Amino acid sequence: MNDGNVKTLPVLPLGEANREAMRRHFLGLEAEDLRLRFAHAIGEATLLRYVDAIDFGRDAVFGVFDGELELVGVAHLALSGPEAEFGVSVSPGHRGKGVGTALYRRACEYCRNHGIRALFVHCLKENAPMMRIARKAGMQIVLDAVEAEAHLRVPPGDGLSLAGEMIGDRVGLLDLALKSQLLAARTVGEALASAAQALARPLQQEQRRQAEEDKEAA
């Protein structure tokens, strides 16, 4: 598995508590983004049914959060016995920053540590970001006129991969906690600034009124 040794973004496992955030993520994608992600056109109703049908007890789902605690990248690892299918989406404005690669690396690590022996990707041949991830990972790619199938034999987990998964989850939780604190502090600061402006407005009006009265009196 040739996915390099570069540092990647913090990635967290997602669960039931994140389903609404996942809905917002997918609804924020353009129609063309969704077509590339699912390999066919998909409407809003079908998209929401897909999100609602994800079984977090069976499949593995991972996400990358931004500073507003919104999901900017989601990977769904659909499990079927010793095999898993990988699908990923990244929000506009966050592409080309390693989000997809970070999610892929985390999914591979999960496969190693949970007895998954084959990872595959089904996508449109024109899905350039997914094809880059597959080639970078050394996946075996089979192309036809429109679609691509990429396969990877996943090596068994070891002490290093188990430690990497545990540390990665802790780093992800710490990153989310820090972002939560920064967001809360920013929200409080904005609320205080708004309150200060509201309190200052009557005083400014009174000062203007007094200035006008003084001018008339003069």
Flag whether 104 is in a domain.
yes
Flag whether 206 is in a domain.
no
| Boundaries of domain holding 58 | 12-180
Flag whether 208 is in a domain.
no
Flag whether 217 is in a domain.
no
pLDDT tens for the 218 residues of the chain, in order:
444 444 468 999 999 999 999 999 999 999 999 999 999 999 999 999 999 999 999 999 999 999 999 999 999 999 998 999 999 999 999 999 999 999 999 999 999 999 999 999 999 999 999 999 999 999 999 998 889 999 999 999 999 999 999 999 999 899 889 988 887 887 776 666 666 676 666 656 666 666 666 666 66
Domain total of the chain: 1
What CATH number is attached to the domain comprising 74? 3.40.630.30
Flag whether 214 is in a domain.
no
DSSP annotation string for the chain: ----S------EE--GGGHHHHHHHHHTS-HHHHHHHHTS---HHHHHHHHHH--TTTSEEEEEE-TTS-EEEEEEEEEETTEEEEEEEE-TTSTTSSHHHHHHHHHHHHHHHTT--EEEEEEETT-HHHHHHHHHTT-EEEE-SSEEEEEEEPPPP-HHHHHHHHHHHHHHHHHHHHHHHHHHHHHHHHHHHHHHHHHHHHHHHHHHHHHHHHHHH-
Flag whether 134 is in a domain.
yes
Flag whether 87 is in a domain.
yes
Flag whether 163 is in a domain.
yes
